[in-house]
Structure 1
Amino acid sequence: MKYDVIIIGGGASGLSCALTLASSRGRGWQWAENRNYLLFDVGRSDLNKAYLKNVPGLDPIPGKELLIKIKKQIQQWGGVETLEEEVRSVSRENGVYSVKTALGKIFSADYIVLAVGFHCFDIEGLELEVKENAKSPKPGRVMVKHKDFEALPNLFVVGTLAGLSSHFTSCAGSGVEVACEILSRMAGKRIVIHDVPEES
């Protein structure tokens, strides 16, 4: 099946990207309606082991609970399908990306967002420069070289894979930033997604 965007990774950055993309629906933007998004999430986010006490606006919360809350937010908007499958390879032909899973399934999309974290990068098929993550407090962590989060045409890296600090807010922010960039390209103009008060 063809999707508009495929996000690989279900942590802070991947889920925030999916939530922002989904939230473009129902706003009266014709270009945003009927968009289809696919999220691959095998449950390996470091948030599963975290307890967050310094996220702006949130009471202290276990990372597992926050993941559940964000996933529920995404479901409320709709338009995002989630699969618990490992992605093995990503390739590009004629401007369209193909994603192949460990089960041999193939999906395609115009945009790809890589949000698999900084522990390793073993997705095959892409000519990406993988190097040491200089902002990691531990050795052996990796990042993918990019410019403004774009590593290849319409292929983005977010979170710690983009070389950001390993903190929820920085990683989530990168997912939002990339989603806004993708939505702007879809719209053909700069857009920002946020809620504003209704006029009285």
Structure 2
Amino acid sequence: MKRIFSIVFATVALLSIAAPVNARGRQPQQQAQPDFQVDDSPSFSNFFSNFGTSSGSGPIPRTVVSIDTRYAPGTIIVNTAERRLYLVQSNGQALRYGIGVGRDGFRWGGVHRITAKKEWPSWTPPSQMIARRPDLPRHMEGGIDNPLGARAMYLGSTLYRIHGSNEPETIGQAVSSGCFRMTNDDVTDLYNRVSVGATVIVKN
């Protein structure tokens, strides 16, 4: 019996010091750390209540994350590949929002500034969009049925905006003509936090 116990004990000891392997028998490689990481520490448990808002009913809730401190507070970073938008806060923190992005052929990157903000904006489709979609209205007043949603932030001299949407189910998808869609709840939250002149970095 003592001999059996010794064998079992030795086997357990060997397993405890062996390198872990995955299902295919290979040692897992160390993964590179992403630019943005969710901070799930207990100190963030009441973060949204401190801001006075909740994540709402959107398909992708707002989340507090850690961020590279090279970015100044108030900077907006759009990560098209992730389909996420980050608003840089102080102390290496950021608010992360889910967004809809441009479909294939309509994605872009660059650095701009918010040059205007509008509540319940009207919508005049540009001529390029009319050429692709002759059925679109030539102008639509702001309102709940307007595709720009509750708020819009205009990016420099481009045709692009960060705006709300009357199609919240498209958040997290690549369906737009280059603009960045958010739920009306999220875009209102962002709108209230940023100012005209804020830097917007779009990573394609």
Same structural fold, with TM-score higher than 0.5 when normalized by the shorter chain: no
Structure (1 or 2) with the greater helix fraction = 1
Instruction: Please say which structure displays the higher CA radius of gyration.
Output: 2
Q: Normalising by structure 1, report the TM-score.
A: 0.26
> Highest relative contact order (Cα 8 Å, sep 6+), 1 or 2?
1
Q: Normalising by structure 2, report the TM-score.
A: 0.26
